[in-house]
Amino acid sequence: MRVCPQCSSQFLGAVERCPIDGTTLVEQVDGLIGRVIGGRYRVQARVAEGGMASIYKARQEQLERTVAVKVLSRMLSEDPIHKERFLREARAANRIHHENVIDVTDFGETEDGLVYLVMEYLEGESLAEVVTRGPVTLSRAVEILHPVCLGLQRAHELGILHRDIKPENIFLVRRQDGGEGVKLLDFGLAQILGDKRLTTAGQVFGTPEYLSPEQATGAEVTARSDLYALGVVFYEMMTGRLPFTGSTARLIYQHLHELPKPPSQVRPDVPAEVDELVLRLLRKEPEERFASAREFDEALAACERRLASKRQAGQASTIRTAAGDVLRFPADTADKLACRLAEARARWEKAGPRRDARIGRDLERLEASIEALRRVQGDLERADRELREFLEHGRGTLDRLRRAVGELAQDEARARREIEGLRTALARAHAESQEAEGEFAQARAQLARLQRDDPGGVGTAIAFETAGKAARRWREAVAERESIERDLAAKNVELEEVRFQLGQFRGRIAALEVDATKAGEGGAAGDAGFYRRRVQDAQRMVAIQVDEAAKLVDSIERRLAGVS
């Protein structure tokens, strides 16, 4: 945080001079570090800073434990509405008192009017850090979302709406035993049903990327509004990207009017069952979403079980070969040969002293041959199953990839159009900022001249006000230009990502089409050829073992018939 020593204005970021009076900004010393708050908490370091509050690591001296202290900024501490909202966060979290919601243990006000609350100190990382590294598996998503749903359900049962569900507010706690816990954080925008409203009708609160349609319009929010935001989080976990992007105005429009792409069109290996869950959470009408966090949690768990069951069933099933028209034998061939072996052995043993030792040795050979047949039949079933799974997976992936390419091509065209519009807007904003900068330079020069010639005059006061207005207009113009520059940069990145994905998907489609064509022709291409050769080799081994066992049992039975 930097401050202007002349007018006391505060600035975040890399601003070096005050745009109002040109004074060099100075770093604001954090007077809380080393201080004891509430007579109990010695502040050790600032660990996070935002526009509304800062979070400090502190030591509760009497209990000798580390805690986190969240302190509302001085300016907001003087505002009754923000002060009440901050204290409501403490009351909301304390009322929930759930293992998956951060524990708030104390709150109060310092002697100089700063409002603070004390929380458990957590070590680990936020879900935002996890999704930055890319999408997660369904099982990992369930591990994280299940405890989130438990905490959210508890809050909703107590009439508390979070209203700011996002990855930054979901924390993965690293426990001392090496395990992991999940905590829902930051009830700073929470609404406690039945309490006095702190917002007027039509006010919008929340993070634009995660706003439900009803929040985006300032309408009444319910527990299903939190579930919409959780749907955005779920989408981001499964795909590594948000369903909607752009400026705040653009985001609100999309939340209200546009349908998100199914996750499987962004990441083709996402199952259709997961698409259904995510898209139900992201329905525009609240009554079309899940009724509660518990209902979604149960549906998510059931979805994971069904998918796991399908995988197991696929691994255990015996299927007709996909390797071509090669001789097949009934599944009970080995069992029938074993029955003939048992009958022949019984007849041979009844022969008593007249038993032929050579037939006894052949019976042992037949038994070994039947066991070998069972083994190669098992090899054939495994090879057969793996080939079919490979081909079916390839066909399903091919269809999903083709759909994804169609969607991405539309995205590419739309991104190009939006980039052209942003370039036009940027040129206009650049001209306006230059014009505003020129007006500010003139007003500042006029103010400097009057301060020199008539320091206490009315003209000087008017010039100071004019310079202030010009500075504000310049700041606003620069902010608008920078906002457009950020949107343009983000849109260019998005376009590059779309083109990169298109290239990858088209390459995968080409490879899969070659495999599919060769598989249909009975040829051997790539991985399909490898699986096909395994099946054919196993079939030949089965044929050899069947032939050997059949000839041996026929010979034994003929000789036993001659003996009797």
CB 346 within 8 A of CB 363: no
Burial-class residue 226 by CB neighbours within 10 Å (0-12, 13-18, 19+): buried
- What is the distance between the alpha carbons of residues 205 and 70, in angstroms, rounded to a whole number? 20
- Residue 293 belongs to what H/E stretch? helix 293-316
Q: Please report where in the chains the tokens 């009970």 appear, as a residue.
A: 332
> What b/e readout covers 273-305, taking b as 16+ CB neighbours within 10 angstroms?
bbbebbbebbbeebeebbebbbebbebbeebbe
Dihedral sign (CA 43, 46, 50, 51): positive
| Three-state SS at 364 | helix
Q: Please report where in the chains the tokens 């159009």 appear, as a residue.
A: 417
Which entry of 79, 164, 186, 275 is annotated as an active-site residue? 164
- What is the distance between the alpha carbons of residues 95 and 294, in angstroms, rounded to a whole number? 19
First to last CA, the chain: 107
Residue 441 φ/ψ, nearest 5 degrees: -60, -40
Which pairing describes strands 170-174 and 180-184: parallel, antiparallel, or unpaired?
antiparallel
CB 387 within 8 A of CB 519: no
Phi/psi-derived region of residue 49, left when phi > 0, alpha when psi is between -120 and 50, beta in every other case: beta
- Check if 195 is active-site: no
Burial-class residue 215 by CB neighbours within 10 Å (0-12, 13-18, 19+): buried
CA atoms within 13 A on the CB side of 235: 28
- What is the distance between the alpha carbons of residues 484 and 490, in angstroms, rounded to a whole number? 10
Cα 448–Cα 449–Cα 454 angle in degrees, nearest 5: 105
Token pair recorded at residue 231 = 């749907």
Q: How far is CA 352 from the centre of its chain?
A: 76
Residues near 251 by beta carbon (within 8 Å), at least 6 away in sequence? 208, 209, 211, 244, 245
Residues near 491 by beta carbon (within 8 Å), at least 6 away in sequence? 246, 415, 418, 419, 422
- What is the distance between the alpha carbons of residues 367 and 514, in angstroms, rounded to a whole number? 45
H helix runs in 351-457, sequence order:
357-453
Q: What is the dihedral of CA 58, 59, 65, 67, to 10 degrees?
A: -20
- What is the distance between the alpha carbons of residues 53 and 33, in angstroms, rounded to a whole number? 15
Token pair recorded at residue 506 = 């088209």
Catalytic residue list: 164
